[in-house]
Amino acid sequence: MAPAGSPAMPVPQDAARAARSLHLAVLGIALAWLLFWYRDTLMSIIHIWERSDTYAHGYLVAPISLWLVWRHREHIKGVPLAPSLLGVLAGAVAGFGWLLGELTSVASVSQFALVGMIIGLIWAVMGTAVLRAYAFPIFFLVFLVPFGEFLFPTMMDWTTEFVIGGLRASGIPVYAEGRSLVIPSGNWQVVEGCSGVRYLIASVVVGSLYAYLNYRSTTRRVVFTAVSVVLPVLANWVRAWGIVMLGHLSDNRIATGVDHLVYGWVFFGIIMLGLFWIGARWQEDEAPAPVLSAAAKKEAGTMRRSSFVWFAVALLAVLAWKPLLADLDRRGNHGPVQFAAISVPGWQQASNDTLQPWTPRYHGMRGEQRLAFTDANGSTVGLHIVYYRDQEQDAELINSENRILMNKDPAWTFAGYGSKATSFGQQTVEVRSTEIRNPEHRVLVWHWYWIGGRWTSSDYVGKAYLALAQLMGQGDDSAMVAVFTSSVADHREVAEEKLSRFVQAAAPQIGSALQQTRER
């Protein structure tokens, strides 16, 4: 959509190129200002590229996008340049997304929003026709964002299930507990490096680029990109099963150390080469550059006087969110955390020495509280609360590094996990259930979040509650609440019954105490 109502500047045909150059110059200045304004978010992207090989491709994304645009630079001569109101709105929506990402300390949301603001500015300054003509190079910038960590748990579970099934189909008995596998020749554990997320990300980036460069048909591009998504997942399952089989058949002489990573990447490389070889059989010739008349070139290079006003509006739409964030950050309680006392009807507080030697692996909290309770039957339940205030990246409640049990924990291993619908007085909440064990203890842990006075165990709902509380000026006080008790293998229901009784009695008291803590 282009703004109407203002006359076109009298641009002679030989000045059309100058009009296009002016649009590009304005766009360059606007993008430079945007990146400087949100430089903290930009640097957070670059820092992840630096420390993680999984996202090292990010260094190449912007140069590839620029090369793709330059490769088709003749096409722009026939594309009308007109500021777009839709682009302004898209930039504003992305800016609001950045605000939500900052309020909830979700780096990936802020980073995607920054890319969205870049795309919105391009759309607003250059117009819808340019966005359509250069859609792939522009939206390829999405791959700048280091994204995909949320896939690790799901893909680790998928890989575990496939390996178990593959080993049993191969005649090898398997005992599985969580992601830990025991076979006659030794023990194996599916960890993040086994998930296949790295292969998936690399395949999607390279596969989509290959599809764009080699096909003109939208259908062929979509199909090839879809295969690039599915194939690495399947290939990783086979790779993981093959690694375990190599270790088993060699009596653990090979594929049990760093070499299994090498085998994995070699296998992935062979799979991708095969995909490209097959894809090349349906390769299409590139579309020729359009042949334009002088009149068409002149019209494409026309600039309206109102364009400069819309350029300013577009820039304001994406820059206004940072001052708003500063204003919201000034609200809420910023003092030290002072926990309110918790008393539970029917339960007496006991010594913490009666609790199992387990603690959650959370970081950056402002306060931590650990209590033990016993009832008349002699049942003992532990209560562990980690409290957050003035949250920021790497010091926030909901973070992928905050876990009930870290991977490769030296003292504990997973014995099971899931969810459990539990009565919180007048409310039923789905809590997360995790069973852990070591040679001496077996512990059942239920945990959930308290955010803005609301209960949830969902990371996504929790982040939404956090954003809502801050937009309402209530601050970002939040807590993780965990209750735990001893468990016995094959008799988990006994531990569940103890925790259920405790939670039903304690949840209203815990909620009231946390509310008082927020107000202190």
Structure tokens at 98: 């950045």
Residue 5 has pLDDT above 70, yes or no: no
Is the overall model pTM greater than 0.85, yes or no?
A: no
Report the amino acid identity of residue 85.
L
Residue 380 phi/psi, 5-degree rounding, is -120, 130
CA distance 138 to 130: 10
| Terminal-residue alpha carbon distance, the chain | 52
Structure tokens at 13: 């045909």
CA distance 365 to 358: 17
Percentage with pLDDT > 70 across the chain:
89
According to DSSP, residue 83 is labeled -
The pLDDT value given to residue 290: 54
Return the beta strands (E) in 228-311 as ranges. Answer: none
**Cβ–Cβ < 8 Å for 479, 398:** no
* Residue 516 C-alpha from the chain's centroid: 33
Taking all residues of the chain, what is their mean pLDDT, rounded to a whole number?
A: 85
The pLDDT value given to residue 280: 85
- Residue 82's SS3 state is coil
475 or 339, which is more confident: 339
**Cβ–Cβ < 8 Å for 130, 151:** no
Report the amino acid identity of residue 460.
Y
The pLDDT value given to residue 3: 46
CA distance 122 to 134: 10
**Cβ–Cβ < 8 Å for 178, 163:** no
CA distance 439 to 471: 48
Report residue 206's pLDDT band, with 50, 70 and 90 as the boundaries.
Answer: very high
Residue 12 has pLDDT above 60, yes or no: no
**Cβ–Cβ < 8 Å for 484, 391:** no
Q: What's the mean pLDDT in 469-476?
A: 87
Residue 399 phi/psi, 5-degree rounding, is -145, 145
Q: Which helix (H) or strand (E) holds 419?
A: strand 413-424
HSE-up of 10 (CA within 13 Å, CB side)? Answer: 0
DSSP for 14-49, written as a single string: GGHHHHHHHHHHHHHHHHHHHHHHTHHHHHHHHHHH
Residue 160 has pLDDT above 50, yes or no: yes
Structure tokens at 79: 């594309």
Q: What's the mean pLDDT in 17-40?
A: 86
Q: What would the pLDDT profile of 407-465 be if each residue is shown by its tens digit?
A: 777 888 888 888 888 888 778 889 999 999 888 889 999 999 999 889 999 999 999 99
CA 185, 188, 193, 196 dihedral sign is: positive
Tokens 């973070």 belong to: 399
Question: What are the residue ranges spanned by the domains of the chain?
Answer: 13-144+285-329, 152-194+217-282, 348-519
Q: What would the pLDDT profile of 478-493 be if each residue is shown by its tens digit?
A: 999 999 998 877 678 8
Percentage with pLDDT > 90 across the chain:
40
HSE-up of 47 (CA within 13 Å, CB side)? Answer: 9
**Cβ–Cβ < 8 Å for 429, 448:** yes
The pLDDT value given to residue 479: 96
The pLDDT value given to residue 306: 56
CA distance 204 to 482: 38
Which of 327, 324, 374, 332 has the alpha carbon at shortest distance from 349? 374
**Cβ–Cβ < 8 Å for 355, 444:** no
CA distance 148 to 231: 17
CA distance 442 to 20: 70
